[in-house]
C-alpha cells in the first residue's frame, strides 16, 4: 500500500485509511467507509463517513469539507 497526502475530502476513496491529520497521528487509524457524498438521502450536506474506531459505540463519524479541506491528511491507499 502507498502512503499519499490529501488536502481535500473529495480525493478520498472508500477503503482509504487515514493515518494522521496535520502531522498528528491518529491513535487508531480511521477507515473511510463512504467517499464524499450526501450524509443522508436527499440531504444537500456533503461529508465523508469513517468507521468509528470504538466498536462499542453507535456514534457515526463524518468529516465535512468545511472542517477538513486545506488540512493535510496522510492516507494509506
* pLDDT tens, position by position, 10-27: 999 999 999 999 999 999
The C-alpha atoms of residue 70 and residue 68 are separated, in whole angstroms, by 6
pLDDT band, residue 66 (cuts 50/70/90): very high
What average pLDDT does the segment 37-65 reach? 94
Q: What SS3 state is found at 68? A: helix
pLDDT at 32 > cutoff 90 = yes
Predicted TM-score of the model (pTM): 0.90
The confidence score (pLDDT) of residue 1 equals 82
The confidence score (pLDDT) of residue 70 equals 97
* Backbone region of residue 53 per phi and psi (left: phi > 0; alpha: psi in -120 to 50; beta: other values): alpha
The confidence score (pLDDT) of residue 50 equals 97
- Other CB atoms closer than 10 Å to residue 9's CB: what's the count? 21
| Degrees, nearest 5: CA angle 54-56-60 | 65
Amino acid at each position: 500500500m502507498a502512503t499519499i497526502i490529501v488536502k481535500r475530502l473529495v480525493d478520498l476513496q472508500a477503503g482509504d485509511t487515514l493515518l494522521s491529520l496535520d502531522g498528528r497521528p491518529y491513535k487508531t487509524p480511521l477507515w473511510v467507509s463512504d467517499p464524499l457524498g450526501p450524509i443522508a438521502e436527499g440531504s444537500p450536506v456533503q461529508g465523508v463517513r469513517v468507521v468509528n474506531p470504538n466498536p462499542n459505540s453507535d456514534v457515526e463519524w463524518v468529516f465535512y469539507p468545511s472542517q477538513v479541506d486545506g488540512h493535510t491528511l496522510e492516507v494509506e491507499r
